[in-house]
Every structure is written in C-alpha cells, then in structure tokens.
Amino acid sequence: MPYFLVFIGGGLGSVVRFLLSRLITLCNVHTLWSTCIANFIACIIVALIISIKVFYQLPFVQPLFIIGFCGGLSTFSTWTYDNYQLLLNGFYGIFTCNIILSICIGLLPFFFMQRIS
C-alpha cells in the first residue's frame, strides 16, 4: 500500500510542478523562479505536516504527502541543472545568489513552524 501512495502522491506533485512551470513561463519569468517556488511550496507542505503531530503520525501521510507529493513537486535535479547552466554561462553572482536564496527560503518554513509550535 505505501508504494501505491507514493505513486499517487508523486504523480500529483509532478503534475502540479508541470502546471506551475507553465504558469510561470506564461508570465515571462525565468525558469529559476519556477524551480525556487516549487521547492519552497514543497518545504512549506513538509514543515506544516511535521508540525501537526497528530496528522504526521497517520500511516498514509509520509508516503502520500512527504515522499510522494512533495518529492514530485520539488526538484533538486532541475535546481542543480539551472545552477550548472548559470556557471557555464558565467553568471557567477546569480549562481551564488540562487544557491543561498534557495537554501534560506527552503529553511524558512521549518524555522517558522518550530517557532509557532
């Protein structure tokens, strides 16, 4: 059963990621933002789930939401490829800012949820 939950959650997360990237492309915004936003949303979801202890302890929550949905939504490989392209094209400042900003933005929901819990 957990495999099925990961499968369903991952599929839904991937579709949301695809739609988010299309929406951001329509707004004429660089793909870096779509990756950053998708990763941030996934971090918010994981932080919320972990902070709601009763919900987090349910047996379907981790495979469906954290591993499945957030795994499909967030995208480390795309983030790494974006950074690789920035390096290849000599955008060292944007590369550095992207790494620092992405990590800091990803940590914010966890610190926030810990603060209010």
Contact 109, 74 (CB under 8 A): no
Number of alpha helices (DSSP H) and beta strands (DSSP E) in the chain: 7, 0
pLDDT digits (tens, 9 = 90+) for 67-98: 999 999 998 888 999 999 999 999 999 999 99
Neighbouring C-beta atoms of residue 41, cutoff 10 Å:
18
Confidence of residue 11 (pLDDT cuts 50, 70, 90): very high
pLDDT digits (tens, 9 = 90+) for 13-63: 999 999 998 998 888 777 778 888 999 999 999 999 998 888 888 999 999
pLDDT digits (tens, 9 = 90+) for 61-71: 999 999 999 99
**Model confidence, pTM:** 0.87
Calpha distance 7→103 (Å, rounded): 27
